Structure formats: C-alpha cells, structure tokens
Chain A
Amino acid sequence: MGRLQVQLQNQAPMPLAAEFECAAGELIALVGPSGSGKTSLLRAVAGLLRVPQLQGTVQVGDQPWFDSARGICLTPQQRRVGLVFQHYALFPHLTALENVAVACPSSLDIRQDASLRALFERLGLAGLEQRRPAQLSGGQQQRVALARALRRILRPQDGRVEPGGVLLLDEPFSAVDAPTRQTLYRELAALRQQVSTPMVLVTHDLSEARRLADRVVIVDAGATLQSGPPERVFSSPRNARVADLVGIQNHFRGRFRRLPDDRGVLRWEGQDGAGLDLQVIDKHRLDDGVAVTWVLAGEHVDVLLPAAAAPADDTQNRLLCTLVEVLALGETSLCTLVPEGLASEKLTLNLSTAQLRRLGSDVGGKLLVQIPRQGIHIMPQRTGG
C-alpha cells in the first residue's frame, strides 16, 4: 500500500515550493485561497500539470511517478489516479454506467459486471445506471464522478478488489447546494472506512477541511506553509500569513520581552501608540525585544463580570473591556470588545448567547476578559514561510 510523497519546485511562470505527504488511508486537505496553486499541486500529482521546468519528485509507495533528477515522468494514463474534477467533467454523451466503466475497461459486458453494480449501490446510484449526466441532479453527478474515480483505484482483479494509487478531489463539493453538501460530507466520511489509498482534497473552505481532513496543508502562492492536524494548525499558525489564511480574527501586533523562568511579557501595541502588557509563556523561539504578531485562541478565553471576579493569579491575564457590539447568531453571539486603555484595538469573541444573558451584559457594559497565558500564540512578524 502506497504512501504519497510530493516535493515540487518550479520558478516562473508558476512558482511552486511544495512538500507534503499523505499516508495510505489518510485524507489530507490542501487549503488556500483561489489562485494559491493548490489545484496545480493536485494536477502535478495526476500528471496533468505540464511545466517544462518542474523540479522534484512525486512518489507513491516505492513507485516514482515523477522524478526530475532521474528524468521520470509517467503519463496520466500510467499513474493510477482517481480524480474528481471540480465540475465533475462527466462525459455528456455517455450514460452514468458508461462514464464509470470508462475508467477500467473490462472484458465483461458492463451490464453484467458485479463490481460495477456494487460500486453503484455503495454510492446510492442504483437505478440511475442508464441516465445521461444531464438527467442527473448535481449531487448525483458528483457521485458518478466519485464512482469513476474510485473505479480507477479500486481495480478489480480476478474478482478481487485490490486498491492502489491515490484518490484526488478537486473542490468536489463547491458546485452543489448546502444540504446536498452535508449529505456528501457524511458519505465521504463513510467511504473513508473502505478506501485505503492516500486521499488528497483541495478546498478553499476552511470548515470543510477541518471537518473532513486528518491533516491540513496550508498553501499560498504555490508554497506549502504549514501542515498538521486541523485543530493544531488553526489554533497555532506558524506565522502571520497562515493566521490570515486560516481566518483567525483576533490577531494583533506587539513586542515580546523575555523574563526569567520561561516567562515573557507581550506588549500589545495599539495603532495610536498606547499599549497593554500581557503575561505569556517564553517558548525560547523568539529573541528579546522582537516585534511579533499574536493571536488569541478563542477556546481559552473566558468572560466574567468585573464585580464578581475572584482575584487572578499570575498565569492569567485580565482585561477590562467595553462591550461595543453584539451580533446575535442564534446559539452564539458575536461580541466586539474594546480593552480599557487601548481604544484602537478590538477583540472579537464568539460567546454563547446563554452565557451572555447570564452575565446580564449589554452594549456599553463592562466585562472582564480572562486570557490564560497559553491562550496567547506569538509568531514572528515576518510573513515569509
């Protein structure tokens, strides 16, 4: 069973500096804004990216698919790739069954082929075999495209299904409506139990990546910036650019100062020159006095009423803030708070509506925002990888 290992570089016209791997049975998500090169990386794995100067390797198991140093470049036909295209790319003149059967010609009559029938049943397409793509709904078209891709990697041999290759999904859920998307998410999660090849999903949707992927790889301008389990990448981005890309709202500027005993002070600097000191942990990755970007991990933050608060210990930061805006979103409310003495900065917190009601606080009221030291994540200000 093959692990996918990709390591690619390219100069102009399309700069690439990418490195990622995907174990057998693992699902990774390449995440980045449109035009970031994530689809190009997927196409490079499939052998569809034709760039003369492309350098690096693409390897599946012990089989090199691409190796610029050794002059190896397999054609898309020679690579065992199941690829679901963004707009499915179903063949409009063929029936659903024929569309899927194209991916693995067998000597059997396709109507008698038990493995094809099983695939249709597994994806909830039974009964739709003779429909043309135009006669299928968006969700059904997506499933036919998925069936075609699976057919390529679940190659039947002597009646046995022996998987291999890689499954690539290029924004597969972007063209269907929201309810269908939820169904398809669940189906993909169920399908993962049965597919043991590496799976690479390309998406610009962060919540989709978070929900589906074992690991996310953040891609920007053709470069892979950071990879790891979603919760880690989303809570501790490596630098300010990653923080931007993963949509962290609370990121601010400041200056880091070292104290003894692994402690540090973060001077939170506002735009008007004012500042606030925050207690932080010194992870010995930053020099004394360096300018930093820092983010607030929302799950660590608590909100208290100023009058009711017990005295804080020195592992906690407490900021007296004014609640300036509340946006009710149902179960949660998006609150904007301005810290006392730092009028140019705004904290955005997603509080539960029930908690807000319990506090009895309203716009204009005062709240204590409690931030433990580990809730502050500090990164160098440079945006480079």
Chain B
Amino acid sequence: MDYQAARVSLLLAAATALLLLPPGLWLARWLALSAWRGKPLVEALLMLPLLLPPTVIGFYLLLAFGQGSALGAWLASALNLRLVFSFEGLLLASLLVNLPFMVQPIQRSFAALPHSLREAAWVSGLSVWQTFWRIELPLAWPGLLAGVALTVAHTLGEFGVVLMVGGSIPGETRTLSVAIYDRVQAFDLGGAHGMALALVVFSLLALALVFAADRRQAAARTLQER
C-alpha cells in the first residue's frame, strides 16, 4: 500500500468535495428552478466531462495552463502559481471534471421538492433565504449527501485526467489510481491488489450511501403526493 499516494488521493477528494459543494449547490438549485431558455446548453456543458475521454480534457487543460499559454504564463509570473504537474493544478482539473457528479444529484433533489412548499413558506412569512435554510435544505440534504459521496468516490477513481495534468510526482500528484498503474507496470501485482481492493470497497460504500439517500428522498416525495 502506497500510503503517500493514499494521502494525496484523500486530500484531493476532500478538497474537491468541500470546494465544489457551495458553487455546486448554487448551480444545482438554479438549474432545478430556472425556466431560462439557455438552460439546456448549460446542462449539456456541465455533462460534457462525463462523455469526453479524460485525455481530451487533460489535453485542453495542459494547453490552457501550460507555460506556453498566456494564462499559464500570467499565473506563473503574477501569482507564482504553476498549474501543470502540481497539486493545485490537479485540484483545479478535479473541480472541473467533478462538477456533474456534484450538481446532478443536488439538482434532482431540488427539482423533486413541490413548489407549493416554497409558496407555503412565503405566504407564512418566511423570506426566500429563510425558506432555503428552514425548508429546502433540510428536505434536499439527501441530494447534497449523494453529490458529496459521488464526488469523493469519483475523485479517488479518476485516472486519465490526473495522469495528463499531474503526472506521477510522489507526494504531490501521484494518487492511488496512478500508483496502481505504476505498480502494475512494475509487475508488482500484490502491491496493486491492496490498493485496488481498497478503492473497490470505498466506491461501493459511497454508492450504497447514495442509494440510501435516494430512498429517503423518495419517501419524502410520496408524502407530498398522497
């Protein structure tokens, strides 16, 4: 077991989930409630990382952040920030590719809330902000939980984008999935086994959590439809 890689993986997963939750929540709620005509385009853009090969995403991120690009050069000179082959760059890439995993379940849980609950809160005198905190959030939390769980599990399992953008620098960008690849390349199947099994178990637990949360939400929905 490569504990250094496990630490990088867990750090990356935790940071991604925490940083992505607030903007993901905002975007998901907006998508769930908005009737704007351009919404399908936003939704399509959001889902794009799911369909594109990781190499394509990694390639464009490399182009955008590399020293050769204007953005990359500016970041390096002004902020002394290097986004290629660094943990920061890996985190940024991870935030982008995880957006659909965070937004989708939250969007679904907000869309499932009957609009009459919001209206009932308003006529009862609750402001939009109070309605969000006291009514919507407590009812949509299974979606938030699912979003975080999916994001964490997916970050731990991400391979292609990590390899393209981060490479395999021990303690900096070598995650568990990259470490497994390295182990297999070196014919160390025993070493690969332990890490692979850990990932399988963790992902399974995360998915089980997602489905359990979904069931809770379904129970809340049936009450409203009675």
Binding site for B on A (CB under 8 A): 46-48, 75-77, 79, 81-83, 85, 87, 89-93, 102-105, 133-134, 138, 148, 152
Contact = CB atoms under 8 A, between A and B. Distances in A.
Nearest to A152: B124
A278 B116 CA distance: 53
Interface in B85-125: 114, 116-117, 119-125
B120 A91 contact: yes
B138 A48 contact: no
A89 B120 contact: yes
A79 B121 CA distance: 13
B223 A103 contact: no
B113 to A, nearest CB: 10
B69 interface: no
Interface string B108-150: 0000001011011111111100000011001100000000000
Contacts of A102: 121, 124-126, 134
Contacts of A79: 123
Interface of B: 114, 116-117, 119-127, 134-135, 138-139, 220, 223-226
Contacts of A83: 119-120, 123
Interface of A is mostly: loop
A102 B36 CA distance: 31
B122 A103 contact: no
Interface of B is mostly: helix
Max chain B C-beta neighbours (<10 A), residue from A77, A83, A133, A148: A77
Contacts of A138: 226
A91 B125 contact: no
B223 A152 contact: no
Given A85-B116, A133-B223, A134-B223, A91 B123 contact: no
B60 to A, nearest CB: 41
A93 B125 CA distance: 18
Given A77-B127, A82-B123, 14 more contacts: A46-B123, A48-B123, A76-B123, A77-B123, A79-B123, A85-B116, A85-B119, A87-B224, A89-B114, A89-B117, A89-B119, A89-B120, A102-B121, A138-B226
A87 B114 CA distance: 10
A138 B226 CA distance: 9
Contact of B123 (A92, A134, A152): A152
Contacts of A90: 120
Given A92-B220, A92-B223, A93-B139, A87 B123 contact: no
A81 B139 contact: no
A258 to B, nearest CB: 54
Nearest to B120: A89
Contacts of A46: 119, 123
